[in-house]
Homo-oligomer: A and B are copies of this chain.
Amino acid sequence: MYVFEYEDDIIVVDCGSVFPKEDMLGVDLVIPDITYLMGKRDHIRGYLFTHGHEDHIGATPYILKQAPSHIYGTKLTMALVDLKLKEYRVEGIPMHVVQPRDTVQLGQFSCQFIHVSHSIAGACAIAITCPAGTVICSGDFKVDYTPIDGQITDLQTFAKYGEQGVLAFLCESTNVERSGYTMSELKVGETFENLFAQAGGRVIVAMFASNIHRMQMIIDNAIRYGRRVCFIGRSMVNVSRVAMSIGELRIPEGWLIDMDVLDDYPDNEVLVMTTGSQGEPMAGLTRMAYAEHRKLQIRQSDMVIISSTPIPGNEKFISRVINQLYRLGAQVIYSRMAEVHVSGHACQEEIKLLHALVRPKYFIPVHGEYRMMWQHAILAEAMGVPSQNIVIPELGQVIEMNQDVLALGEQVPVGGVLVDGLGVGDVGNVVLRDRKHLSQDGLLIVVLAIDRDEQKLVSGPDIVSRGFIYVKENEDIIDSTQELVRQILAKSSLEGDNWPELKNNIKDEVHRFIFDKIKRNPMILPIILDV
């Protein structure tokens, strides 16, 4: 999420969510903290979206609920945002579909959408002009000279801005570590063409549902080989439906079939498009691989094509899915074996091309690990941007600029807001720390009831444990813990005022006892009931 501010006007570019880090146990989603925006809610003139991937639109329902305004994007992007707003029942957001090269006037900002190639249809860069100058946000892009839809990244418009003068360029950095060019989608098309020619049974393709162009290419190939198309998996079904409804995806009448009638067709007349290309536990391909799918059982004659590369962190999951598919006897084709996937992001030479076209005065690398932004800064410097005109931004860092100055402003409150179920922001460090603790060694509860007036133990101590040890086979450790607590109670005052200290003693001594005995550190939870 990028916020642009000129006098009393604010516009926001993108509104993404990210997946929780491994230590954010139980968290579903991480969205941006918009404390700063909330303080200036009246200044927001609109939200602009570069494209419809989750890391650019995933937080929209949460953010637009709190800070509603007009939203702008191309057809597919808006359709995907709409899907999201409907799912979360956020209503009354005025939605504006733009065409590439359209210009939207928002307060003193004039914003032009510029078509770029990416792994989703309808991706755009945005050129934002205000009295201080023009800033170009690249969005996510690559320069594919032979894209599936024939629309090459709009180099002319980038060139036009470069000629007019660009104050600052915010360019994505995902693939800046890779030299050369990203291969064209055409290559992927050729691979699929060959695979369809070979396949004797069903072809099952797992990929991201949002890569509509690749989907179209695969479906066109399938139909050429006489195969009907069946979508399996929630996001595959939803996104393909949306894409068809707006004309981004075209399947001739009669060639789309339902999962329920799949077996009515011979195996060599079927293409299944499904989710799970990252080995996600609940997705279509994962269920098929573990023979847990309700409707589709993998057969030895199936050819399974995984058209993606693992996102860092997912390698193990997808690797297990592939192993399982092999075990079921299927033929599995994945990116290490054949060119069934290309990246959606520009490599070094493509990035340089955009720099050369845009010729910005200031350069701000965005969208990537810190090390990538750092390397992107080096690249920009090599292309002639003086180092004092480059800023590697930290989250929440205000950057002030005009033709004369590039300066760091204040640091506004930022950070990830954790979403867990319906709760937004109610899971913080304490809760996460407890989840982490519980996940490692479980817990051990010591319950007792004390008659406060008589200062007498009336029940317990009872020991209850979960996730600590298999109790049935380890009764001695539970028994001796109980005995230890009895001893602590015998030598302690049971007076009401002493209960906090008593609890602490139980916690400390039980902790020490258990750790000595078995080198584990469960959460110890003493509970005293007042009778």
Residues of A participating in the B interface, judged by any CB pair closer than 8 Å = 21-22, 25-26, 177, 312-313, 315-316, 319, 322-323, 326-327, 332, 336-337, 369-371, 374, 420-423, 426-428, 430-432, 434-443, 445, 447-449, 458-460, 462, 464, 466-470, 473-474, 517-520, 523, 525, 527, 529-531
Contacts and interface: CB of A to CB of B under 8 A. Distances in A.
A428 B323 CA distance: 24
Given A519-B421, A531-B449, A469 B427 contact: yes
25 contacts: A21-B316, A22-B316, A25-B439, A25-B467, A26-B442, A312-B316, A322-B371, A326-B374, A421-B520, A422-B517, A423-B469, A434-B466, A435-B440, A435-B467, A438-B438, A438-B466, A443-B443, A445-B525, A447-B527, A447-B529, A448-B529, A449-B458, A449-B531, A460-B529, A527-B527
A378 B438 CA distance: 46
Contacts of A460: 529
Contact of A529 (B370, B374, B459): B459
B431 A435 contact: no
Contacts of A519: 421-423
A70 B374 CA distance: 55
A520 B421 CA distance: 6
A436 B434 CA distance: 13
Contacts of A430: 470
A142 B200 CA distance: 38
A21 B323 CA distance: 16
A21 B520 CA distance: 19
A527 B322 contact: no
Contact of A441 (B26, B371, B474): B26
Nearest to A452: B459
B467 A434 contact: yes
Contact of A531 (B420, B459, B517): B459
Given A442-B438, A470-B431, A529-B462, A369 B447 contact: no
B466 A443 contact: yes
A426 B313 contact: no
A46 to B, nearest CB: 31
Contacts of A442: 26, 431, 434-435, 438
Contact of A445 (B369, B437, B438, B527): B527
A371 B518 CA distance: 38
Nearest to A451: B531
B438 A473 contact: no
